[in-house]
Amino acid sequence: MDKTHLRFFARQNILKLINYAGLTVERIDARLTPRRAKLNRLIPGLFEGFLANQYIVIARKAES
């Protein structure tokens, strides 16, 4: 992390924020460092939310 990171979000908070903005999430992927990804494979995704460095989100404008 660098000094430009002003906020930190958990997956649930990201989803709430995007829905509040009137968008629908199409896809959300957790990004992990290679070391954390290896650990995540040992414990089949159980702690992915704790291990994620960032989330990549694809969202669209919600249909009325």
Global model pTM greater than 0.85:
no
User: For residue range 29-45, what is the model confidence (pLDDT) as tens digits?
Assistant: 888 888 888 887 888 87
Q: Render the chain in DSSP notation, one character per residue.
A: --TT------HHHHHHHHHHTTEEEEEEEEE--HHHHHHHHHTTTTTHHHH-SEEEEEEEEPP-
Question: What is the rounded average pLDDT of the residues 18-35?
Answer: 90
